[in-house]
Structure 1
């Protein structure tokens, strides 16, 4: 509060200090009237609110937050005191976008007869940590209630099995001579040990102290079971881990229930591919892992050729069968760690972790050839479909996931331009001037793509 005897210079200095505090504050601060009309907002608040802004407008705090917290205007209207907190640390779940928070904490304080102060904080990491704690508690509770369904042992500093315990034989059938001195992925089922997977699991455990991985495991006799593998770090003096403790749990029964629910939430009901939302959620996670561990990552865009013609001539049922067969063939061609998602209509995307540009191009060509030769029986007739595919891969530049998607999309466009039923690869190279030059898979320069009208 300003004292009654402060002179103009002192008032100006105090006002300047208040403005500096607002603009340098690590939390978002918004001042508005009771109707929500904003008259002051610091940069952090603008940054946190921008994902919710309609057309970039942040003029009214209630309208901006309406998609995630429509009740705020009512809470303010029902608050009868002249001063005090209207709400405190209310969690707002924002639809996550790249570089933006997923969860905000919102507090609204009435600071006078006609003003509100809204304080916003990004608590995404805190919420993620809480979720991880709940997962751990649930996981440990499962161990306590299913003591016959887990095995525990240790790894040495080189990440190889160091000790053996009878619980290992009970769960997996492995004897000490089978596993001591071997890497942890000896428990993985065939097809699960993709390049870099085990190293990433251990790296995440080092970063956070522990990490849980879920995958198909196999017993000594080859029987598969769905396993949860907890790796936690053991420390001696110094920063380097002295070894790791490991718990493997058979979670096959839980997986049956969770798979049914996950299938409903993440799968395109027509084709069996991942739906768009789930595909991009997985893509974001894989992109982060690839960047963090400097691992290759490729993406392939796939489009059914002349699909409208198939629908118009053979009917929509035939069109549906074509899409379903494309997905079935893709699943037969891809590895367990790969993912196919339906982005919309006849357009699909393939996510290929730990896959180089050349490997992705070979996979795309193998899939293209398989679909071309596939007889599709529907309605008493046999159809043949073809697809066009565009390939892009992470390089050493500071590209983002959106850049990878855009490059694969441009490659798909080039495949269609080239007559369809082919594969094209896009390699984006940023020049010193910041311009983007595209090259074909063989490194030969090509001119910029024409407009959409020219392509038709």
Structure 2
């Protein structure tokens, strides 16, 4: 008669031990079902998630993280094994990606068919240290490079070149008369001359004391090389900016070797587009740039319609081919300054600098049509696919990246509710832009 009581006592002891472990754990722990509904959470997890949830009432972990990590729900939904790691050390940017950003590392383990354990760790300091290390590496590389690899000169307070020495001609081929009084763009390759780059480079230098940027340059003879420009402020005794010192370096060889590593760190392995973590770093910079210069910035969120059905009927390899084709159509459609990224699963995002809501709707519609018309070759035969898209633009009502993503996600939901294979956005009607105005949108974005 005592056996059932013994078993019950053992279960209660194990449950108490689990609770003690969770509450005393140095990391945040959340237990939920596969739909995200929380049944257990330790205090540290609640503390880490507090910036995302008003009033601290967390019922569904995926809903709570939707504004900063909408792909987590898809990652869990696409994980078919009964148990195992869904994701490990997935970075979630809770606040903007600056030096004092709040960044969480998220790991999700599927314990059983309907039980998930999520582990959250604050890695904000680590991410900030990585960013500072990258900046420091640029400076150290400049110090250790031989003199034949770089040119040193100065700019006046307006950003015009006001000094010259033989190192400039040795690197660039331009003599003194060809550079004095000109801007840094004198050394840019033609396809790298963007109107906002130089003023922004100087503005960042004034704010931070120094700034580093890399881009394609071109010598007088027409040889392209990957240049790194380090600009530092020169100040008078009163503290006013008198000019800038500049180091221009040819780091082409280092770029060739570094590109492979960078590609691994920043690119989605399946589709070749930007991965989620790198997207958030780029997007935060673009939002800051748009705010600083008063320019438009739009975002398009999209995913493949009925993607689970494709996987179930044609197989996962066919599903992969569909995702790759969507990414290829997006890359073919966008400008060099635009970004296409895979957030996870079948969900993608387009970041469109200097693009209004109306112009973004035109771009989204073009992509929708391109995907709809595409014949996708797979091992299971030729497939057709469609996508749904949601558009949002930065503005007074949508001032941050998180707001932008949330607005685009709501518009994507509207597109799905409207029957899929369509584009939705909440601002376009007020601009009077129709899909038939595609050439107008193209001109405005060129």
Q: Give your verdict on TM over 0.5.
A: yes
Determine whether 1:204 maps to 2:204. Answer: yes
Whether the 8 Å contact between 2:358 and 2:431 is mirrored in structure 1 is no
TM-score computed with the length of structure 2 as normaliser: 0.65
Match among 47, 51, 68 for residue 50 of structure 1: 47
Match among 140, 143, 147 for residue 142 of structure 2: 140
Instruction: Tell me the CA shift for residue 230 of structure 1.
Output: 0.7
1:140 alignment partner, SS class: helix
Instruction: Tell me the CA shift for residue 174 of structure 1.
Output: 3.1
Instruction: Tell me the CA shift for residue 282 of structure 1.
Output: 2.4
Counterpart position of 2:311:
311
TM-score computed with the length of structure 1 as normaliser: 0.63
Instruction: Tell me the CA shift for residue 443 of structure 1.
Output: 6.6
Counterpart position of 1:339:
339
Match among 84, 94, 97 for residue 97 of structure 1: 94
Whether the 8 Å contact between 2:135 and 2:212 is mirrored in structure 1 is no
Q: Distance in 2 between matches of 1:322 and 1:103?
A: 32
Instruction: Tell me the CA shift for residue 123 of structure 1.
Output: 7.0
1:228 alignment partner, SS class: strand
Query: CA separation of 1:168/1:422 partners in 2, compared to 1, >3 Å: closer, same or farther?
Result: farther
Counterpart position of 2:164:
164
Instruction: Tell me the CA shift for residue 229 of structure 1.
Output: 0.8
Whether the 8 Å contact between 2:283 and 2:351 is mirrored in structure 1 is yes
- Alignment root-mean-square deviation, CA: 3.8
Query: CA separation of 1:232/1:49 partners in 2, compared to 1, >3 Å: closer, same or farther?
Result: farther
Counterpart position of 2:181:
181
Counterpart position of 1:382:
382
Query: CA separation of 1:329/1:133 partners in 2, compared to 1, >3 Å: closer, same or farther?
Result: closer
Instruction: Tell me the CA shift for residue 328 of structure 1.
Output: 1.9
Aligned length: 338
2:426 alignment partner, SS class: strand
Whether the 8 Å contact between 2:171 and 2:219 is mirrored in structure 1 is yes
Query: CA separation of 1:416/1:36 partners in 2, compared to 1, >3 Å: closer, same or farther?
Result: closer
Q: Distance in 2 between matches of 1:36 and 1:166?
A: 65
> For the pair shown, which has the larger CA radius of gyration, 1 or 2?
1
Instruction: Tell me the CA shift for residue 309 of structure 1.
Output: 3.7
Residues 40-119 of structure 1 correspond to what in structure 2 (within 5 A)? 50-51=47-48, 97-98=94-95, 102=102
Instruction: Tell me the CA shift for residue 380 of structure 1.
Output: 7.7
Residues 247-262 of structure 1 correspond to what in structure 2 (within 5 A)? 247-262=247-262
Query: CA separation of 1:222/1:52 partners in 2, compared to 1, >3 Å: closer, same or farther?
Result: same
2:192 alignment partner, SS class: coil
Q: Distance in 2 between matches of 1:382 and 1:398?
A: 41
Query: CA separation of 1:326/1:180 partners in 2, compared to 1, >3 Å: closer, same or farther?
Result: farther
Structure 1, unmatched stretches of 5+, are 1-34, 38-45, 58-93, 105-121, 428-438, 445-456
Instruction: Tell me the CA shift for residue 283 of structure 1.
Output: 1.9
Counterpart position of 2:133:
131
Counterpart position of 2:19:
none
Structure 1, residues 157-182: CA drift from partner, whole Å, max 9, x if none? 22223333332332233344444333
- Relative to its length, the structure with more helix (as a share) is 2
Counterpart position of 1:415:
415
Instruction: Tell me the CA shift for residue 248 of structure 1.
Output: 1.2
2:413 alignment partner, SS class: helix
Determine whether 1:406 maps to 2:403. Answer: no
Instruction: Tell me the CA shift for residue 191 of structure 1.
Output: 3.6
Structure 1, residues 282-317: CA drift from partner, whole Å, max 9, x if none? 223332333344333221112223333433443322
- Higher RCO (CA < 8 A, seq sep 6+): 2
Counterpart position of 1:271:
271
Between stretches 316-325 and 361-370, larger displacement belongs to: 361-370
Q: Distance in 2 between matches of 1:389 and 1:160?
A: 45
Whether the 8 Å contact between 1:425 and 1:441 is mirrored in structure 2 is no
